[in-house]
Amino acid sequence: MAYIDQNSQPVNPGRQIGRRGGEGTVYEAISHPGHVVKFYHQPPDDLKASKLGQMVQTGTPEVLSFAAWPKLLVWDPKGNLRGFLMPAVQGKEIHELYGPKERFLNFPSARWDFLVHVARNCASAFDEIHKTGSVIGDVNEGNLLVKRDGTVCIIDCDSFQASASNGFVWTCDVGVPLWTSPELQGRPFRGLERTVNHDLFGLAVLIFRILFMGRHPYAGIPLTSTDLPLEKAIAEYRYAYSDNPQQLGVQTPPNTLPIATLPVMHRELFARAFLRGSEQTGQRPSAADWVGALESLRGTLAACKRDSAHRLPANLSLCPWCKIADDGGPNFFLALYVQGANGQVSVSLWEAIGNVSPMSPLGWTMTNLPTVDCSPAALPPAETTFRKRFIAGIIIVAVGILFLLGGSWVLGLGLALLGGGFIYEGPYLYTYSSVRRRVSIASLDKEKQIETELLKLRQIEEEARRLFTDKREESRKTYERLIHLEQEKKAVLSELQTQKRQLQLDAFLDGKRLGQARIPGIGPRLVSELLSYGVETALDVSRAMSVPGIGPSKYQELLRWRAICESQFRFDANAPLPQAAASQVNAKFSSIRQTLELELRQAPSFLQRINTSAGAAREPIASKIQVLTKECCQLVANLSSIPEH
C-alpha cells in the first residue's frame, strides 16, 4: 500500500520496530532517513486526528531533537489518516540505569555523577515539553530512554495531553498510580485534565529514583502495625525521607542513600514536591528549578578516596556509598575492575562488546533505489513492412484502366482514384511498436532481476542481524556469569561445608599409604600390582577388586585395613576445608573464569566479523543492483523517446 505524508511525499515503511502495540505499530521510515512511522491499527477518529495535527504544529526543534514527537501526518491512498512520522529515538529504558543490577550490564562504568547528569537531562526534557503547552500526563519509567552518553529521549508522545489556542484540551487517558500525584490518587484517568504541577510530581519521583538507586520516595517502613501500600502512602503524603518520620508514621528503609547526603537546597526541593501542600499550583519545583539544582549538585561532587567508583558531595567527610557497603548493604557502584572469582574482571570487556553496532541495512526497496539520470539513446531505425494495400491499389488501378478502355468512364475513373489512394502512401510501412514492445519487456525484466537481488540483499542483512543479536545475547549471559562467578564459587564451597566430615575422612584415608601398611596376604608383589592400577591409599581400596590377583579374600583384607584406618579418624568441625577439596574448586572456577574472559575478549572481533562477512556478501549484490538500476533507468529513458506507433 502506498502512503503519503502531509507534504504529498511517499512514505515507505521498512522493518518493524519493537512489538506490536495496543494502538499501533512502529516501522522504519525508509523514505525519511532518521525517522520512523507509526501506523494505527484503525484510522484515528476526528478527535485523535485533530490532536495529532495540533502536536505537529506545536513541535519545536528542541522537542524534535529528543522526543518521538509527531512531525508529519501520514495518509493512505484513500485519504484516510493512518499515522504519523516522528524522529527515530533509541536508548535503554530509564529503569535500566537506576536499577543497580541492570545498570551494571547496560551502563557498567556509570557513577553517581553520571546519574545526576541524566536526572538533569530529564528535567530539561520536561521543561521543553511544557513550553509547547503540552502535559506528559502518563509519566512513567517506560516512556523515558537514556543513551550511553546520558542524553534522554521520550517516546509515546501521541498520548500526551495537548491544548489548543482556544482552550480545548485533548486529555491523556492513561496513567500509572505509582507515578501519580497524591491529589489524583484514586481518580479515573479518562477525561482527567492534568496540569504541569501534576507532571512535576512525576518528574520529582523520576529524579528521586535516579539519585536513590531506584527507591520510590514513598516506599518506607511504617512506624505502626498497620499496612501501608505504596498508593496509600502517596495519597496520604507519607514521604519516607522527610525530616519528621514520627509525624508521618514512616521512616527511611535500610541500605538506602541517606537524604542528608544531599545539600539542604535539594532536600527542600524534594520536600516541596512530596509533602502536603505540594498539590497547590506552583508549589512543586519546576523543571527549570531542577535543571539548575542538579547542575549545581554535579559541580560539587568529588571522588571517594577509598573507592574510585564512588562520587559524593565534596563537603562530606564520609562516603555514604562505602558506609552502605560496610553495613552489609550492596555496593551500588563498581570500579573499573570488579572482584571476580580469582582476580579482577574488567568492565571494559562488556563495554567493548557494546561499542560494536550491528551492520546498518541499506533499506533499499523498488520505490527508493537511487535513480540515475540517463539521456535517451539514439532512436533505432523503424521496422519496415511491405504494405498489402499498395499491391491492392495497383490491382484496383489496373482494373479501373480496363473499365476506362471499355468505355465505363465513371466506374473506371472511380476505381483508378481508389487504387491511387492506396498507392499514394507508398509500398512500405514504418513502425516503432515492436521496438517499443521489446524495450518495455526488457525494462520489466530488469525490474524483476532487481527484485530478485533485493530479496537476496534483505536475506543477507536479516541473517546478519540475527547472528549479531544472538551472539551479543550469548555474550551478555557470559558476562553475567563472569560477574557472579565468585558467588557461584562461594555457593559450591558452602555446599562443601555441609560435606566437611566426608571430605576430612577422604583426606585422612588418602593419607594412609598402601605401601606403608601391613596387611595379611598383601605382600610387596601385590602392593606393586595395586600401585600400577592406581590403588595407592586407603581411599582407593574400593577400586581394588578390578586388579588382577586380588580375589574376594584379599579384597576383604583390604577393606578391613580401611576400616581400621577409619576408626582412627577424628572429625574437627572447626578445621578448614581440606586443601585438596578447596584447591579443586579454585582450579575449576579459575578455568571457568579464563574461558569466560576469553569468550568476552573474542566477542567484539566475532561481532565485527559478522558485520564484515555480511558486508562482503552484500557488496557484490549491491553493486549488481546499482548496475541493474542504471540499466533499467536507461531503458526507461529510451522508452520515453520511442514513438508509440
Known catalytic residues are 138
Q: Which residues contact 165 (CB under 8 A, 6 or more apart)?
A: none
The helix/strand/coil state of 575 is coil
Helix H or strand E segment including 510: helix 500-510
Minimal CA–CA distance to 366: which of 4, 6, 31? 31
Contacts 24+ apart (CB under 8 A), 496-503: 496/577, 496/581, 496/582, 496/585, 497/577, 500/571, 500/573, 500/575, 500/577, 501/571, 503/577, 503/578, 503/581
Query: Contact at 8 Å (CB) between 252 and 240?
Result: yes
Report the candidate in 442, 426, 443 with the shortest Cα–Cα distance to residue 391. Answer: 426
Look up residue 616 and give its amino acid.
Answer: A
Q: Edge-to-edge, what's the strand order for the sheet holding 24-29?
A: 10-11, 3-5, 72-75, 81-87, 35-40, 24-29, 13-17
Instruction: Indicate the pairing of strand 144-146 with strand 152-154.
Output: antiparallel
Residue 634 sits at the vertex; the CA angle it makes with 629 and 635, to the nearest 5 degrees, is 95
Going by C-alpha positions, the residue among 213, 204, 331 that lies closest to residue 266 is: 204
DSSP sequence for 543-555: GGGGSTT--HHHH
CA distance 189 to 196: 16
Residue 618 has phi, psi (to 5 degrees) of: -80, -30
C-alpha cell at 25: 505499530
